[in-house]
Amino acid sequence: MESQPEAASGSRKAPGDVWSLIFRHLQRPFPKPLSSPPRSALQQPDLVAVSRTCKLFASLCEPLLYSRIYTDQLPLLLHEARRPAMYRRFAKTKSLYIEYCPKGLDTSYQKLVETGKGWLKVGMDAKQVEKVEMEECETEAQAILAVLSPISRMGVGRIFPRLETIAVASVYGREPDLWHRYAYGRETVTAGMYGMVQFNTFIAAGKLRHVGLRNSEGPLSISPILNESERDPMSVNFGLTCHFSAAVHQLVIVCGRPMVWACDAPTTTPWVDVLGALGKQVLSTASSRQESRERHGFCPDTADIDLYCSTATYPSQTANPIARQWASQLTGGGSKKTALTVAEQRRMTDKMSQAITKTFKEESRLADSIRCHPSVDTPICPACGMGPPE
Protein backbone atom coordinates (compact mmCIF):
# COMPACT_ATOMS: atom_id res chain seq x y z
CA MET A 1 0.00 0.00 0.00
CA GLU A 2 1.38 3.42 -0.93
CA SER A 3 2.29 5.71 1.98
CA GLN A 4 0.80 9.19 2.36
CA PRO A 5 3.98 11.02 1.25
CA GLU A 6 4.19 8.78 -1.84
CA ALA A 7 0.49 9.36 -2.59
CA ALA A 8 1.02 13.10 -2.28
CA SER A 9 4.02 12.92 -4.60
CA GLY A 10 2.00 10.93 -7.11
CA SER A 11 -0.78 13.49 -6.99
CA ARG A 12 1.60 16.10 -8.41
CA LYS A 13 1.89 14.08 -11.60
CA ALA A 14 -1.66 15.11 -12.54
CA PRO A 15 -2.76 18.76 -12.86
CA GLY A 16 -4.95 20.14 -10.10
CA ASP A 17 -7.88 20.76 -12.45
CA VAL A 18 -7.89 17.06 -13.36
CA TRP A 19 -8.08 16.07 -9.70
CA SER A 20 -10.90 18.59 -9.20
CA LEU A 21 -12.93 16.89 -11.93
CA ILE A 22 -12.31 13.52 -10.32
CA PHE A 23 -13.29 14.74 -6.85
CA ARG A 24 -16.62 16.05 -8.12
CA HIS A 25 -17.65 12.45 -8.68
CA LEU A 26 -17.08 11.78 -4.98
CA GLN A 27 -19.56 14.48 -3.99
CA ARG A 28 -22.87 13.04 -2.81
CA PRO A 29 -26.06 14.54 -4.30
CA PHE A 30 -27.50 17.35 -2.20
CA PRO A 31 -30.80 16.53 -0.46
CA LYS A 32 -33.88 17.86 -2.21
CA PRO A 33 -36.32 20.17 -0.39
CA LEU A 34 -38.60 18.29 2.04
CA SER A 35 -37.12 14.94 0.99
CA SER A 36 -36.37 13.87 4.61
CA PRO A 37 -33.57 11.41 3.75
CA PRO A 38 -31.48 9.68 6.43
CA ARG A 39 -29.43 12.24 8.32
CA SER A 40 -26.25 10.78 6.85
CA ALA A 41 -27.29 12.41 3.55
CA LEU A 42 -26.13 15.76 4.99
CA GLN A 43 -22.55 14.49 5.12
CA GLN A 44 -19.78 14.12 2.52
CA PRO A 45 -17.60 11.34 3.99
CA ASP A 46 -15.74 10.49 0.78
CA LEU A 47 -14.66 14.07 0.15
CA VAL A 48 -13.67 14.50 3.79
CA ALA A 49 -11.51 11.38 3.63
CA VAL A 50 -9.76 12.55 0.45
CA SER A 51 -9.20 16.04 1.87
CA ARG A 52 -7.18 14.53 4.72
CA THR A 53 -4.74 12.82 2.35
CA CYS A 54 -2.47 15.78 1.56
CA LYS A 55 -2.45 19.57 1.36
CA LEU A 56 -3.08 19.59 -2.39
CA PHE A 57 -6.16 17.41 -2.07
CA ALA A 58 -7.36 19.45 0.90
CA SER A 59 -7.19 22.67 -1.12
CA LEU A 60 -9.05 21.05 -4.03
CA CYS A 61 -11.78 19.53 -1.84
CA GLU A 62 -12.48 22.65 0.22
CA PRO A 63 -14.63 24.41 -2.42
CA LEU A 64 -16.71 21.24 -2.79
CA LEU A 65 -17.08 20.82 0.97
CA TYR A 66 -17.67 24.43 2.02
CA SER A 67 -19.33 26.36 -0.82
CA ARG A 68 -22.64 24.75 0.17
CA ILE A 69 -22.98 23.60 3.78
CA TYR A 70 -25.72 21.38 5.20
CA THR A 71 -25.82 20.99 8.97
CA ASP A 72 -28.16 19.86 11.73
CA GLN A 73 -25.60 20.89 14.35
CA LEU A 74 -25.43 24.71 14.05
CA PRO A 75 -23.91 25.22 17.54
CA LEU A 76 -21.05 22.87 16.67
CA LEU A 77 -20.53 24.55 13.28
CA LEU A 78 -20.33 28.03 14.82
CA HIS A 79 -18.06 26.77 17.59
CA GLU A 80 -15.69 25.48 14.89
CA ALA A 81 -15.74 28.97 13.34
CA ARG A 82 -13.49 30.17 16.16
CA ARG A 83 -10.60 28.17 14.71
CA PRO A 84 -8.40 30.31 12.39
CA ALA A 85 -8.30 27.56 9.73
CA MET A 86 -12.09 27.62 9.45
CA TYR A 87 -12.22 31.29 8.46
CA ARG A 88 -10.46 30.45 5.19
CA ARG A 89 -12.88 27.58 4.57
CA PHE A 90 -16.03 29.51 5.51
CA ALA A 91 -14.93 32.31 3.17
CA LYS A 92 -15.90 29.92 0.38
CA THR A 93 -19.46 29.40 1.67
CA LYS A 94 -22.27 30.89 -0.41
CA SER A 95 -25.25 28.80 0.75
CA LEU A 96 -26.05 27.55 4.26
CA TYR A 97 -28.76 24.94 4.90
CA ILE A 98 -29.59 24.65 8.60
CA GLU A 99 -31.72 21.83 9.96
CA TYR A 100 -32.93 21.23 13.49
CA CYS A 101 -31.29 18.20 15.05
CA PRO A 102 -33.32 14.94 15.04
CA LYS A 103 -35.65 14.32 17.98
CA GLY A 104 -38.03 11.63 19.10
CA LEU A 105 -36.86 9.18 16.47
CA ASP A 106 -36.74 5.42 16.87
CA THR A 107 -33.36 4.45 18.25
CA SER A 108 -31.28 1.98 16.26
CA TYR A 109 -29.71 -1.03 17.98
CA GLN A 110 -26.27 0.38 17.16
CA LYS A 111 -26.99 3.62 19.03
CA LEU A 112 -28.42 1.70 21.97
CA VAL A 113 -25.15 -0.22 22.25
CA GLU A 114 -22.86 2.77 21.59
CA THR A 115 -24.44 5.42 23.84
CA GLY A 116 -27.10 3.73 25.94
CA LYS A 117 -29.21 6.92 25.79
CA GLY A 118 -31.86 5.39 23.58
CA TRP A 119 -32.95 3.03 26.34
CA LEU A 120 -34.71 5.96 28.01
CA LYS A 121 -37.44 5.92 25.33
CA VAL A 122 -37.97 2.17 25.25
CA GLY A 123 -41.39 1.30 26.66
CA MET A 124 -42.55 4.91 27.11
CA ASP A 125 -46.17 5.92 26.58
CA ALA A 126 -47.17 8.93 24.44
CA LYS A 127 -47.03 11.44 27.33
CA GLN A 128 -43.59 10.31 28.38
CA VAL A 129 -42.29 10.52 24.81
CA GLU A 130 -43.77 14.02 24.49
CA LYS A 131 -41.97 15.09 27.66
CA VAL A 132 -38.64 13.77 26.37
CA GLU A 133 -39.13 15.48 22.99
CA MET A 134 -39.88 18.82 24.65
CA GLU A 135 -36.76 18.40 26.78
CA GLU A 136 -34.79 17.76 23.59
CA CYS A 137 -36.21 20.96 22.08
CA GLU A 138 -35.20 22.88 25.20
CA THR A 139 -31.68 21.42 25.07
CA GLU A 140 -31.24 22.41 21.42
CA ALA A 141 -32.68 25.89 22.04
CA GLN A 142 -30.28 26.39 24.96
CA ALA A 143 -27.33 25.31 22.78
CA ILE A 144 -28.35 27.71 19.98
CA LEU A 145 -28.80 30.55 22.45
CA ALA A 146 -25.43 29.85 24.08
CA VAL A 147 -23.47 29.90 20.84
CA LEU A 148 -25.27 32.91 19.31
CA SER A 149 -25.41 35.25 22.31
CA PRO A 150 -21.71 36.28 22.16
CA ILE A 151 -21.62 36.67 18.36
CA SER A 152 -25.10 37.77 17.25
CA ARG A 153 -24.23 41.46 16.88
CA MET A 154 -21.00 40.52 15.14
CA GLY A 155 -23.21 39.17 12.38
CA VAL A 156 -23.20 36.27 9.99
CA GLY A 157 -21.03 38.24 7.56
CA ARG A 158 -18.02 38.12 9.88
CA ILE A 159 -18.01 34.32 9.85
CA PHE A 160 -19.31 33.71 6.32
CA PRO A 161 -18.16 36.81 4.39
CA ARG A 162 -19.51 35.58 1.02
CA LEU A 163 -22.70 33.97 2.24
CA GLU A 164 -25.70 34.74 0.01
CA THR A 165 -28.53 32.48 1.17
CA ILE A 166 -29.74 30.67 4.28
CA ALA A 167 -32.42 27.97 4.24
CA VAL A 168 -33.89 26.77 7.54
CA ALA A 169 -35.57 23.34 7.83
CA SER A 170 -35.63 22.97 4.05
CA VAL A 171 -34.91 19.24 4.06
CA TYR A 172 -36.76 17.94 7.14
CA GLY A 173 -39.43 20.66 7.38
CA ARG A 174 -42.30 18.16 7.17
CA GLU A 175 -41.35 16.37 10.37
CA PRO A 176 -43.72 16.62 13.40
CA ASP A 177 -44.50 20.15 14.63
CA LEU A 178 -42.38 19.84 17.77
CA TRP A 179 -41.46 23.52 17.86
CA HIS A 180 -45.12 24.57 17.77
CA ARG A 181 -45.86 22.34 20.74
CA TYR A 182 -42.72 23.55 22.49
CA ALA A 183 -43.56 27.25 21.97
CA TYR A 184 -47.15 26.94 23.18
CA GLY A 185 -46.55 24.39 25.91
CA ARG A 186 -44.63 26.81 28.12
CA GLU A 187 -46.12 29.47 30.38
CA THR A 188 -42.88 31.48 30.55
CA VAL A 189 -40.51 32.88 27.92
CA THR A 190 -38.46 30.00 26.56
CA ALA A 191 -34.86 29.63 25.46
CA GLY A 192 -36.34 29.19 21.98
CA MET A 193 -37.75 32.73 22.04
CA TYR A 194 -34.47 34.21 23.24
CA GLY A 195 -32.64 32.11 20.66
CA MET A 196 -34.90 33.48 17.91
CA VAL A 197 -33.95 37.05 18.87
CA GLN A 198 -30.25 36.16 18.71
CA PHE A 199 -30.59 34.30 15.39
CA ASN A 200 -32.61 37.20 13.92
CA THR A 201 -29.91 39.67 14.98
CA PHE A 202 -27.15 37.38 13.73
CA ILE A 203 -28.49 37.00 10.17
CA ALA A 204 -29.67 40.63 9.96
CA ALA A 205 -26.07 41.85 10.42
CA GLY A 206 -24.85 40.51 7.09
CA LYS A 207 -25.18 40.89 3.35
CA LEU A 208 -27.52 38.02 2.62
CA ARG A 209 -29.49 37.95 -0.62
CA HIS A 210 -32.32 35.65 0.47
CA VAL A 211 -33.53 33.58 3.43
CA GLY A 212 -36.05 30.73 3.33
CA LEU A 213 -37.80 29.82 6.60
CA ARG A 214 -39.84 26.83 7.75
CA ASN A 215 -40.95 25.89 11.27
CA SER A 216 -40.91 29.58 12.13
CA GLU A 217 -41.79 29.00 15.79
CA GLY A 218 -38.39 27.46 16.51
CA PRO A 219 -35.26 29.39 17.55
CA LEU A 220 -33.90 29.41 13.96
CA SER A 221 -36.35 32.04 12.77
CA ILE A 222 -36.98 35.76 12.93
CA SER A 223 -39.44 37.97 14.78
CA PRO A 224 -43.04 37.33 13.60
CA ILE A 225 -43.46 41.02 12.69
CA LEU A 226 -40.68 43.37 11.57
CA ASN A 227 -40.82 46.88 10.12
CA GLU A 228 -37.93 47.75 7.84
CA SER A 229 -37.97 51.45 8.73
CA GLU A 230 -37.42 50.83 12.44
CA ARG A 231 -33.76 50.03 11.72
CA ASP A 232 -33.20 48.10 14.92
CA PRO A 233 -30.63 45.25 15.09
CA MET A 234 -33.30 42.76 14.00
CA SER A 235 -34.38 44.62 10.84
CA VAL A 236 -33.58 42.60 7.72
CA ASN A 237 -32.45 43.74 4.31
CA PHE A 238 -32.72 40.46 2.41
CA GLY A 239 -35.44 38.76 0.40
CA LEU A 240 -37.59 36.44 2.51
CA THR A 241 -39.71 33.39 1.72
CA CYS A 242 -41.82 32.01 4.56
CA HIS A 243 -42.77 28.43 3.68
CA PHE A 244 -45.70 26.85 5.51
CA SER A 245 -47.49 23.51 5.62
CA ALA A 246 -51.22 22.79 5.54
CA ALA A 247 -51.32 23.28 9.31
CA VAL A 248 -50.18 26.92 9.34
CA HIS A 249 -49.04 27.77 12.85
CA GLN A 250 -47.21 31.07 12.34
CA LEU A 251 -46.48 33.40 9.43
CA VAL A 252 -43.53 35.77 9.55
CA ILE A 253 -44.08 39.21 8.02
CA VAL A 254 -41.49 41.87 7.19
CA CYS A 255 -43.31 45.12 6.41
CA GLY A 256 -41.74 47.65 4.13
CA ARG A 257 -40.20 45.20 1.63
CA PRO A 258 -41.58 42.54 -0.74
CA MET A 259 -41.73 39.00 0.59
CA VAL A 260 -43.28 35.62 -0.22
CA TRP A 261 -45.55 33.25 1.68
CA ALA A 262 -45.50 29.83 0.01
CA CYS A 263 -47.64 26.83 0.91
CA ASP A 264 -45.90 23.45 0.69
CA ALA A 265 -49.09 21.39 0.96
CA PRO A 266 -49.30 18.60 -1.66
CA THR A 267 -51.87 19.06 -4.42
CA THR A 268 -54.00 16.27 -2.92
CA THR A 269 -54.47 18.20 0.33
CA PRO A 270 -58.04 19.55 0.73
CA TRP A 271 -57.66 23.25 0.02
CA VAL A 272 -60.54 24.15 2.29
CA ASP A 273 -58.62 22.68 5.26
CA VAL A 274 -55.56 24.80 4.41
CA LEU A 275 -57.81 27.86 4.23
CA GLY A 276 -59.00 27.28 7.78
CA ALA A 277 -55.49 27.35 9.23
CA LEU A 278 -54.32 30.10 6.88
CA GLY A 279 -57.33 32.29 7.64
CA LYS A 280 -56.64 32.03 11.35
CA GLN A 281 -53.04 33.15 10.86
CA VAL A 282 -54.02 36.01 8.54
CA LEU A 283 -56.43 37.32 11.18
CA SER A 284 -53.75 36.91 13.87
CA THR A 285 -51.11 38.72 11.80
CA ALA A 286 -53.48 41.57 10.93
CA SER A 287 -54.49 41.92 14.57
CA SER A 288 -50.84 42.02 15.67
CA ARG A 289 -50.16 44.86 13.25
CA GLN A 290 -53.10 46.78 14.73
CA GLU A 291 -51.63 46.27 18.19
CA SER A 292 -48.28 47.55 16.88
CA ARG A 293 -49.95 50.65 15.46
CA GLU A 294 -51.80 51.34 18.72
CA ARG A 295 -48.69 50.78 20.84
CA HIS A 296 -46.41 53.04 18.74
CA GLY A 297 -49.07 55.48 17.57
CA PHE A 298 -48.54 54.40 13.97
CA CYS A 299 -47.53 51.41 11.87
CA PRO A 300 -44.86 52.83 9.57
CA ASP A 301 -44.50 50.20 6.86
CA THR A 302 -46.95 48.60 4.45
CA ALA A 303 -47.26 44.88 3.85
CA ASP A 304 -46.18 43.75 0.38
CA ILE A 305 -46.74 39.98 0.08
CA ASP A 306 -47.05 37.44 -2.70
CA LEU A 307 -48.98 34.46 -1.32
CA TYR A 308 -48.89 31.15 -3.19
CA CYS A 309 -51.55 28.81 -1.85
CA SER A 310 -53.99 26.45 -3.55
CA THR A 311 -54.55 22.77 -4.22
CA ALA A 312 -56.51 20.84 -6.84
CA THR A 313 -58.71 19.22 -4.16
CA TYR A 314 -61.63 21.22 -2.84
CA PRO A 315 -64.28 19.27 -0.85
CA SER A 316 -67.36 21.35 -0.15
CA GLN A 317 -67.85 20.33 3.47
CA THR A 318 -65.74 21.40 6.45
CA ALA A 319 -66.34 21.78 10.15
CA ASN A 320 -63.90 24.69 10.47
CA PRO A 321 -65.92 27.95 10.72
CA ILE A 322 -63.09 30.11 9.34
CA ALA A 323 -62.65 27.69 6.42
CA ARG A 324 -66.41 27.81 5.72
CA GLN A 325 -66.36 31.61 5.69
CA TRP A 326 -63.42 31.76 3.30
CA ALA A 327 -64.81 29.00 1.10
CA SER A 328 -68.04 30.93 0.74
CA GLN A 329 -66.16 34.08 -0.34
CA LEU A 330 -63.98 32.25 -2.85
CA THR A 331 -66.68 30.16 -4.47
CA GLY A 332 -69.48 32.68 -4.32
CA GLY A 333 -71.41 30.50 -1.89
CA GLY A 334 -71.19 26.75 -1.56
CA SER A 335 -69.60 25.21 -4.63
CA LYS A 336 -69.92 21.41 -4.65
CA LYS A 337 -66.95 20.93 -6.95
CA THR A 338 -64.21 18.67 -5.57
CA ALA A 339 -61.56 18.91 -8.33
CA LEU A 340 -60.27 22.27 -9.52
CA THR A 341 -58.45 23.19 -12.71
CA VAL A 342 -55.57 25.68 -12.57
CA ALA A 343 -57.82 28.31 -14.16
CA GLU A 344 -60.41 27.80 -11.42
CA GLN A 345 -57.72 27.99 -8.74
CA ARG A 346 -56.51 31.24 -10.30
CA ARG A 347 -60.00 32.78 -10.19
CA MET A 348 -60.38 31.78 -6.55
CA THR A 349 -56.97 33.14 -5.53
CA ASP A 350 -57.91 36.45 -7.17
CA LYS A 351 -60.86 36.63 -4.77
CA MET A 352 -58.58 35.56 -1.92
CA SER A 353 -56.30 38.53 -2.72
CA GLN A 354 -59.18 40.93 -2.25
CA ALA A 355 -60.34 39.30 1.00
CA ILE A 356 -56.89 39.22 2.66
CA THR A 357 -55.89 42.70 1.49
CA LYS A 358 -59.16 44.06 2.90
CA THR A 359 -58.51 42.34 6.25
CA PHE A 360 -55.00 43.79 6.44
CA LYS A 361 -56.04 47.31 5.47
CA GLU A 362 -58.86 47.41 8.01
CA GLU A 363 -56.38 46.68 10.81
CA SER A 364 -53.30 48.64 9.66
CA ARG A 365 -55.04 51.56 7.85
CA LEU A 366 -52.22 51.40 5.28
CA ALA A 367 -52.01 50.64 1.56
CA ASP A 368 -51.18 46.98 2.14
CA SER A 369 -51.01 44.72 -0.90
CA ILE A 370 -51.38 40.93 -0.71
CA ARG A 371 -51.37 39.22 -4.08
CA CYS A 372 -52.56 35.60 -4.05
CA HIS A 373 -51.60 33.04 -6.67
CA PRO A 374 -52.23 29.32 -7.22
CA SER A 375 -49.47 27.07 -5.88
CA VAL A 376 -48.63 25.92 -9.38
CA ASP A 377 -47.15 29.40 -9.97
CA THR A 378 -44.84 29.23 -6.93
CA PRO A 379 -41.39 30.51 -7.95
CA ILE A 380 -38.22 28.61 -7.08
CA CYS A 381 -37.04 29.77 -3.65
CA PRO A 382 -33.54 31.28 -4.07
CA ALA A 383 -32.56 29.91 -0.64
CA CYS A 384 -33.83 26.32 -0.52
CA GLY A 385 -34.70 25.54 -4.15
CA MET A 386 -38.34 24.63 -3.41
CA GLY A 387 -40.78 25.33 -6.23
CA PRO A 388 -44.42 24.33 -6.83
CA PRO A 389 -45.49 21.49 -4.51
CA GLU A 390 -46.22 18.12 -6.04
Chain segment 149-169, per-residue pLDDT in tens: 999 988 999 999 999 999 999
Q: Please give the model's pTM, rounded to 2 decimal places.
A: 0.88
Residue among 148, 147, 142 at smallest CA distance from 234: 148
Helix (H, G, I), strand (E, B) or coil at 48: helix
Burial class (CB in 10 A: 0-12, 13-18, 19+), 281: middle
Cα–Cα distance for residue pair 10/311, rounded to 1 Å: 58
CB 140 within 8 A of CB 101: yes
Q: How confident is the model at residue 2, as a pLDDT? A: 47
Q: How confident is the model at residue 66 (pLDDT cuts 50, 70, 90)?
A: very high
Per-residue pLDDT tens digits for 20-61: 889 999 999 999 999 999 999 999 999 999 999 999 999 999
CB 263 within 8 A of CB 244: yes
Q: How confident is the model at residue 329, as a pLDDT? A: 67
Is the predicted pLDDT of residue 12 greater than 80, yes or no? Answer: no
Radius of gyration in angstroms for the set of CA atoms belonging to the chain, rounded to a whole number = 23
Partners of 288 in the β-ladder: none
Q: How confident is the model at residue 205 (pLDDT cuts 50, 70, 90)?
A: confident
Cα–Cα distance for residue pair 17/23, rounded to 1 Å: 10
Listing DSSP states for 103-143 in one string gives -SPPPPHHHHHHTSGGGGGTT--HHHHHHHHHHHHHHHHHH
Residue with the larger pLDDT of the pair 384 and 284: 384
Is the predicted pLDDT of residue 297 greater than 80, yes or no? Answer: no
